[in-house]
């Protein structure tokens, strides 16, 4: 066995003479040391053995790679197998088709091949470039915007995994052309961009990721196809640059990858007179281009592939298979897409006889092909590939998470004047968004609404028919206008990337008339040049394509759900140049459909789906909303079921639920903590110091800590409404019409005398204290808290809560008396009240006491959606901070969420509930930590957070529809089971 450095054999035996030319003038000073060459240190006895048994025909056949399609007929497949078997070809390149069909055809082709085939794919953006039913990956220009090259390596590794799964071992990627011509019709966004260093470094990391995982990488299109305005598929481009320019820019990435150890290079059909002045001779057929420049100057010793020999850049200038022979003579090792296999073999044999090419040239190329097969492990043979679970394997978490990571790391904040992005101060800005090249609200616009109260306009429907002056007037009241342009064609320069002239004119109009425009381009970055007023934009985001995932994450970038990380891979305008890109930080919740993004198994989706839908099936509730948060990422955000059992209105993420006692912790507690932080009171203070009604009563001595931990001896509740149902009393207290006297609305067409509020607080004041010092959950202390808050803050409870918490948080769904803000169909109904209000409750608070207080109380009355509740819980998980605002001090967060007593004595924190020591008997998940805290609501709601696991759970239902006697949600432990499902799905390191 001869174990030698195979690359040295090439240099000695085949006279690949010369060393790398001096590159000091073009290379970076931080040029990374050479990686292990592709053919380094291999035992080549297998190559010698195989070659010694080959006929000349078989050697020539090893140099041929034919295209194969897996989406054609059975007869086509049989003919292809017959062709490979008859000539024992060296390789095939799979084009369009499907994964399972490709695998079946690969298996048949490998079975009839004495020497295993090189199975190639032109899969620049992985399998999605060629096959259906797989994850779609972005083009290289988007990847060129990523600043983390380790991610590009991981991308290459993931592509290799997918390629091998469908039987491929060669990928004709990366494209390492420097795209310095914006009008390039064929490379353009297939390139990493215009910066040669960026192209080279990303090209190598992509290649290395594949090669480290068993797939040959092929850099292309040598000597550089980036500065052309002709598509070589249709004609032969001419590059007129001199050698100094080529050495400085175009050849740099090829040198870099050759130095690092890429295994393959593809030569393109480019006529470059400064390399070879022979008229209309493309680099593919030029010995000077391949043997002198690629082999000698660039010092590349791997496999050289021709570009497809059926392209216009060849067939328009050469007849028959003449070019195929010339390609081998020029130094290509593998001829791609020959027009006729049999004729090529015969023509090459004739060329040998005529002395145009030597058999030694054939041996040299064949040896290189076999060395490549050896390097790929094909000397050990190939096993048939299974199609079992092929769809799941190619669309698994790893595949989808890679797609997501590429997109979110590439999104580029090219301009950010006054640091307007991420948008902050949500309480003081009015925001609109306008979408172009769309016919309905886009996914980008919908995601914006998860962060703030954004008014969405679709230009074609809402603004196009208006005059310029009318449009200006309609948008004049908005402080920030987010303009999104959704280009439908990433590449077609001739079609301006799908951006119409009308859109260009309209966007320029908005840039000139609206204040603070954030422009987001969902198209090729070169498209920015089409907007004359681009310099008037306050911020410019480049999102590169108009995919759903891109829409989603770009909206998150605008509001700080994800940081801005990308840089411009190309120059788009005089003011937006390559390399520009503002960096921002994550300041709000991120939304991801892949739980593994937050260290949670995707199994949680199926578990929670099953748990929640079982409740719908058993009629524990007609529907609801569930949000799960881990590590600052919303990993589950679903609305399921309907508003009612008649299944007429589906639950939407923006519908609002009656939160019942969650009011205590979401509104009242937030206010109390803020006032505590401001030093307005101490926990040991007496409540009566700030609430005169309790002075000189049996409650005058009660402290905040006693009331807020439900150990003050207060009664659980007082059925105020029952005292009003007396036949004699009722007409004195209620009226079916509103008036100054009957001004408090408690339901539709039912108004209470405002004087009766005083009676309610008198009843609380005079109520007996029971079970002093023992834990008795009570509404009464929280009913009076709005008056305490007003005394401490000098501001109405509702106004204080909205101004200090909900509005700056962007939690705009959270409100009292939702009919003042929402249409009825957006509010989920609760009970069919047949004992007090005698009507179906819809839009009015379910809690009787809160209703009698006008829908506003410290214990109940709040409505909202699960998404906004998650923001409140995230404040606690972020030690009091969210969206760049410090709502609570970290010490207050700890003070209000820790056990106030020894937990065996009382499980409560200040305001919040906590798990009992014996989790099997408790109110929460058995897996919850001692740091966890939360609360439930009578209508079937829950919020729960656990800082130990950095997680939160929100569950909203209307279990009281149509009767509050429906307790199935408790009996089935649906809310705690959802908590437990999240705990159990956390991935352990």
Contact 889, 677 (CB under 8 A): yes
Is 860's pLDDT higher than 90?
yes
Q: What is the pLDDT of residues 172-205, one digit of tens each?
A: 999 999 999 998 888 999 999 999 999 999 999 9
What is the structure's pLDDT at 789? 99
Is 37's pLDDT higher than 70?
no
Is 832's pLDDT higher than 70?
yes
SS (H, E, C) 418-450: HHCCCCCCCCCCCEEEEEECCCCCCHHHHHHCC
Q: Which CATH fold would you assign to the domain 411-587?
A: Rossmann fold (3.40.50)
The sign one gets for the Cα dihedral 699, 705, 708, 711 is negative
Give phi and psi for 221, each to the nearest 5.
Answer: -115, 100
* Mean per-residue pLDDT, 347-371: 94
CB count in 10 Å sphere of residue 629 = 26
Percent of the chain exceeding pLDDT 90 equals 89
Contact 882, 668 (CB under 8 A): no
CA distance 987 to 697: 55
CB count in 10 Å sphere of residue 826 = 17
For 864-875, give one letter per residue: b (16+ CB within 10 A) or e: bbbbbbbbbbbb
> Of 29-33, 77-81, 628-632, where does mean pLDDT reach its minimum?
29-33
Is 5's pLDDT higher than 50?
no
CA distance 947 to 929: 8
What is the structure's pLDDT at 3? 44
CA distance 665 to 667: 6
Confidence of residue 496 (pLDDT cuts 50, 70, 90): confident
The sign one gets for the Cα dihedral 584, 585, 586, 587 is negative
What is the structure's pLDDT at 841? 99
Q: What is the pLDDT of residues 678-728, one digit of tens each?
A: 999 999 999 999 999 999 999 999 999 999 999 999 999 999 999 999 999
CA distance 975 to 922: 13
* Mean per-residue pLDDT, 430-456: 98
The arrangement of secondary structure in 3-16+43-393, i.e. its CATH architecture, is: Alpha-Beta Barrel (3.20)
What is the structure's pLDDT at 78? 98
Contact 231, 175 (CB under 8 A): no
The sign one gets for the Cα dihedral 395, 396, 397, 399 is negative
Is 20's pLDDT higher than 70?
no
* Mean per-residue pLDDT, 269-286: 95
> Of 47-61, 232-246, 561-575, where does mean pLDDT reach its minimum?
232-246
The helix (H) or strand (E) run that includes residue 303 is strand 303-306
890-897 vs 866-877: helix axis angle to the nearest 10? 110
CA distance 435 to 444: 9
DSSP string, 717-741: ---GGGGG-STTTHHHHEESS--SS
What is the structure's pLDDT at 750? 98
The helices-and-strands tally (H runs, E runs) of the chain is 35, 32
Is 852's pLDDT higher than 90?
yes
Confidence of residue 313 (pLDDT cuts 50, 70, 90): confident
Is 142's pLDDT higher than 50?
yes
Would you call 908 helix, strand, or coil by DSSP?
coil
Half-sphere exposure of 149 (CA within 13 A, CB side): 13
Question: Residue 867, by phi and psi: left (phi above 0), alpha (psi -120 to 50) or beta?
Answer: alpha
Could you state, in order of their start, the residue ranges of all structural domains in the chain? 3-16+43-393, 411-587, 589-655+966-989
Confidence of residue 229 (pLDDT cuts 50, 70, 90): confident
> Of 37-41, 348-352, 672-676, 688-692, where does mean pLDDT reach its minimum?
37-41
Q: What is the pLDDT of residues 525-572, one digit of tens each?
A: 999 999 999 999 999 999 999 999 999 999 999 999 999 999 999 999
Is 232's pLDDT higher than 90?
no
Percent of the chain exceeding pLDDT 70 equals 95
Q: What is the pLDDT of residues 389-407, one digit of tens each?
A: 999 999 999 999 999 999 9
Q: What is the pLDDT of residues 750-784, one digit of tens each?
A: 999 999 999 999 999 999 999 888 999 999 999 99
Contact 352, 359 (CB under 8 A): yes
């Amino acid at each position: 066995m001869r174990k030698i450095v195979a690359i040295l054999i090439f240099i000695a035996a085949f006279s690949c003479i010369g060393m790398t030319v001096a590159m000091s003038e073009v290379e970076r000073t931080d040029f990374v040391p050479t990686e292990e060459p592709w053919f380094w240190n291999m035992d080549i006895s297998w190559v010698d053995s195989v070659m010694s048994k080959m006929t000349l025909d078989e050697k020539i056949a090893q140099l041929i790679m034919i295209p194969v399609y897996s989406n054609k007929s059975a007869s086509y497949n049989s003919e292809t197998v017959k062709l490979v078997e008859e000539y024992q070809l060296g390789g095939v390149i799979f084009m369009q088709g499907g994964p399972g069909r490709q695998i079946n055809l690969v298996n048949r082709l490998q079975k009839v091949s004495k020497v295993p085939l090189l199975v190639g794919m032109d899969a620049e953006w992985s399998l999605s470039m060629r096959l259906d039913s797989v994850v779609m990956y972005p083009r290289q220009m988007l990847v060129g915007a990523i600043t983390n090259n380790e991610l590009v390596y991981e991308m290459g590794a993931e592509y290799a995994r997918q390629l091998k799964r469908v039987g491929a071992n060669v990928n004709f990627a990366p494209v390492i052309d420097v795209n310095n011509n914006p009008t390039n019709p064929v490379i353009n966004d297939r390139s990493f961009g215009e910066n040669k260093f960026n192209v080279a470094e990303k090209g190598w990391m992509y290649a290395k990721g594949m090669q480290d995982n068993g797939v040959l990488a092929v850099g292309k299109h040598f000597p550089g196809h980036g500065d052309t305005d002709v598509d070589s598929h249709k004609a032969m481009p001419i590059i007129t640059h001199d050698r100094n320019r080529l050495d400085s820019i175009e050849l740099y990435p090829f040198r870099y990858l050759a130095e690092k150890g890429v295994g393959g290079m593809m030569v393109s059909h480019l006529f470059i007179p400064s390399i070879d002045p022979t008229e209309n001779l493309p680099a593919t057929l030029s010995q000077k281009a391949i043997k002198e420049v690629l082999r000698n100057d660039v010092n590349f010793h791997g496999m050289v592939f021709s570009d497809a020999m059926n392209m216009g850049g060849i067939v328009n200038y050469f007849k028959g298979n003449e070019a195929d022979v010339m390609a081998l003579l020029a130094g290509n090792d593998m001829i791609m897409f020959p027009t006729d296999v049999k004729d090529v073999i015969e023509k090459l044999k004739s060329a040998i006889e005529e002395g145009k090419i030597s058999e030694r040239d054939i041996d040299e190329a064949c040896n290189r092909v076999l060395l490549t097969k050896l390097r790929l492990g094909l000397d050990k043979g190939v096993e048939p590939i299974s199609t079992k679970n092929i769809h799941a394997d190619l669309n698994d978490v790893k595949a989808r998470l890679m797609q997501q990571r590429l997109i979110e790391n590439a999104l580029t904040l090219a301009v950010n004047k006054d640091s307007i992005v991420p948008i902050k101060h949500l309480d003081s800005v009015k925001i609109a968004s306008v979408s172009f090249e769309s016919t309905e609200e886009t996914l980008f616009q919908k995601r914006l609404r998860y962060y703030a109260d954004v008014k969405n306009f679709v230009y074609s429907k809402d603004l196009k028919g208006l005059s310029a002056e009318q449009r200006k007037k309609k948008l004049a009241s908005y402080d920030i206008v987010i303009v999104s342009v959704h280009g439908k064609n990433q590449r077609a320069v001739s079609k301006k990337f799908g951006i119409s002239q009308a859109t260009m004119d309209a966007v320029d109009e908005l840039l000139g008339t609206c204040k603070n425009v954030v422009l987001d381009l969902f198209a090729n970055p070169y498209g920015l040049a089409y907007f004359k007023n681009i310099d008037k934009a306050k911020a410019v985001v480049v999102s590169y394509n108009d995919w759903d995932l891109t829409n989603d994450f770009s909206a998150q970038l605008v509001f700080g759900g994800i940081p801005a990380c990308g840089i411009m891979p190309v120059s788009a305008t005089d003011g937006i140049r390559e390399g520009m890109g503002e960096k921002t930080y994550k300041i709000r919740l991120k939304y991801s459909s892949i739980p593994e993004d937050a260290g949670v198994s995707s199994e949680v989706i199926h578990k929670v789906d099953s748990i929640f839908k079982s409740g719908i099936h058993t009629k524990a509730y007609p529907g609801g909303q569930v949000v799960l948060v881990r590590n600052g990422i919303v990993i589950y955000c679903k609305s399921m079921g309907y508003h009612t059992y008649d299944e007429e209105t589906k639950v939407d993420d923006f519908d609002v639920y009656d939160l019942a006692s969650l009011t205590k912790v979401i509104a009242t507690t937030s206010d109390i903590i803020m006032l505590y932080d401001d030093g307005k009171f101490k926990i040991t203070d007496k409540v009566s110091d700030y609430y005169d009604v309790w002075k000189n009563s049996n409650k005058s001595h009660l402290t905040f800590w006693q009331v807020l931990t439900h150990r003050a001896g207060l009664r659980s509740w007082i059925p105020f409404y029952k005292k009003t149902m007396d036949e004699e009393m009722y007409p004195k207290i209620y009226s079916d019409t509103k008036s100054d006297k009957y001004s408090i609305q408690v339901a539709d067409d039912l108004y209470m005398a405002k004087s009766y509020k005083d009676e309610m607080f008198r009843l609380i004041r005079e109520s007996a204290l029971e079970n002093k010092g023992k834990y008795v959950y009570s509404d009464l202390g929280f009913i009076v808290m709005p008056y305490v808050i007003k005394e401490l803050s000098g501001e109405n409870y509702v106004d204080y809560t909205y101004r200090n918490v909900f509005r700056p948080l962007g939690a705009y769904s959270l409100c009292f008396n939702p009919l003042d803000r929402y249409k009825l169909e957006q509010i989920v109904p609760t009970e069919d009240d047949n004992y007090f209000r005698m009507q179906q409750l819809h839009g009015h608070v379910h809690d009787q006491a809160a209703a009698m207080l006008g829908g506003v109380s410290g214990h109940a009355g709040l409505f909202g959606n699960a998404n906004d509740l998650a923001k409140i819980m995230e404040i606690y998980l972020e030690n009091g901070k969210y969206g760049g605002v410090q709502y609570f001090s970290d010490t207050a967060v700890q003070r209000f969420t820790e056990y106030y007593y020894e937990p065996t004595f009382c499980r409560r924190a200040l305001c919040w509930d906590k798990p009992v020591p014996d989790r099997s008997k408790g109110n929460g998940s058995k897996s919850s930590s001692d740091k966890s805290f939360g609360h439930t609501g009578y209508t079937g709601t829950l919020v729960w957070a656990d800082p130990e696991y950095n997680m939160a759970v929100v569950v909203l239902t209307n279990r009281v529809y149509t009767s509050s006697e429906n307790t199935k949600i408790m009996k089935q432990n649906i809310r705690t089971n959802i908590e437990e499902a999240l705990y159990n799905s956390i991935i352990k390191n």
